[in-house]
Structure 1
């Protein structure tokens, strides 16, 4: 009986840890020139701000191993006119 209870508690603890890791929010990386990126699938790109000048945007993507990443980089905003 003790072995069965130990087994049940071990499985429950393992599933709890796995669930917490799966729901963890990825760290936001800031792009640096020459940075190696492993982009297999782009999930989302945030729209640039309505300003005239550099503004940060974020790209959420999955790498070739299926791990989710968030990359922040700068683009020219949409508020500039010619």
Structure 2
């Protein structure tokens, strides 16, 4: 087997893992966060929030693995990135 075929195999495997996590995120219904929720977060996979240019409260979601390695999605409200440095 030549090196190009080996590199192509590894690249394909890496891209497959990336698309697998993206597909898992879209197939899981987000659970809304509420104060006092018991969180079971083993590893955070991604953090996303609404795009905005100003400062304000936006919807966000966190995709993570729980202690059973199951993909979970949690929705919550947070300050926009435009609020950094604002008082």
TM-score range, shorter chain: 0.5 to 0.7
Matched, 1:79 2:82: yes
Work out which of the two has the higher radius of gyration on C-alpha atoms and give 1 or 2.
1
Distance 1:58 1:72 in 2: 4
- Out of 10, 19, 28, which is 1:26 matched to? 28
More helix by share: 2
- Structure 2 unaligned spans of 5+: 1-23
- Structure 1 unaligned spans of 5+: 1-22
Count, aligned residues: 60
- Out of 52, 63, 70, which is 2:66 matched to? 63
Alignment of 1:5-44 (within 5 A): 25-44=27-46
For normalisation by structure 1, the TM-score amounts to 0.62
For normalisation by structure 2, the TM-score amounts to 0.59
Runs of 4+ with >6 A deviation: none
